[in-house]
Amino acid sequence: MDGISQRELQRQFRVLDQMLSMHSTLTNRFSRMSLVLDISLLSCAVVFCATTFASEDLFAALSLTPHRIKVVLGVISVLAFLASVISLRVDWKGRHASHKEASQKLTIILARYKELRSSSGEWPSEKSSELNQKYWAVMSNIPTIPDRSFAALKAKHLRKVEISRLLDSHPGCPLFLLRFLLLRNSIKDLGSRTKE
């Protein structure tokens, strides 16, 4: 089998699935964060444009004195500057793009693993070398998961897998109830293990 065991291919398959889940989560997270930042900057720009052309009668109707207007515009200016600095420093759009690209690469290789996997859960021995090469090529060309996020993202992935299994056997059960049962069973199992 070219030295690649079924056990190793199974491990690679699990890792690919987990990494896809992690990168997808990070893609969504950085997309939301960059969207909030963009909306903040655009909101500040709208306020600046609106106040530039607004008449003094409008400010008077809103009970805004010239002093209050100056304070409000000053605060919004500081917020706009802060959002601009954050945007340059954190590069959430760039991180979103790199994790999205990683998700796409992982989706392609995972699809190949699934395509070649037999109903017994094994892969053809003549394809094991190809799969192994593709696995290492992808894993060496995607961004790493930050250490501080790894455990939380892995836990999220494993919960997703367990919820999916529960849904397969109980499709009519509400999702919140399945999450509760998973949490309860996990805590119960942990409690019984600590007593041993």
Q: What is the pLDDT along the chain (196 residues), one digit of tens a residue?
A: 456 899 999 999 999 999 999 999 999 999 999 999 899 888 888 888 877 777 777 777 777 777 777 787 888 888 888 888 888 888 999 999 999 999 999 999 999 999 999 999 899 999 999 999 999 999 999 999 999 999 999 999 999 999 999 999 989 999 999 999 999 988 888 877 776 6
- 100 within 8 A of 54, measured Cβ to Cβ: no
Is 193 inside a domain boundary? Answer: yes
Say whether both 100 and 87 belong to one domain. yes
CA 139 to chain centre: 18
Tokens of 34: 């960059």
Say whether both 96 and 163 belong to one domain. no
Say whether both 19 and 95 belong to one domain. yes
Q: What are phi and psi of 156, to 5 degrees?
A: -60, -45
Say whether both 15 and 79 belong to one domain. yes
Say whether both 119 and 57 belong to one domain. yes
Question: Domain boundary residue among 105, 128, 145?
Answer: 145
| Domain ranges, residue 57 | 6-145
Say whether both 122 and 50 belong to one domain. yes
CA 103 to chain centre: 10
Half-sphere exposure of 113 (CA within 13 A, CB side): 24
Rounded to whole angstroms, how far apart are CA atoms 180 and 194? 21
Is 1 inside a domain boundary? Answer: no
Which of 80, 143, 139 has its CA nearest to residue 109?
139
- 121 within 8 A of 10, measured Cβ to Cβ: yes
Say whether both 83 and 129 belong to one domain. yes
Say whether both 151 and 65 belong to one domain. no
Question: Domain boundary residue among 145, 161, 177?
Answer: 145
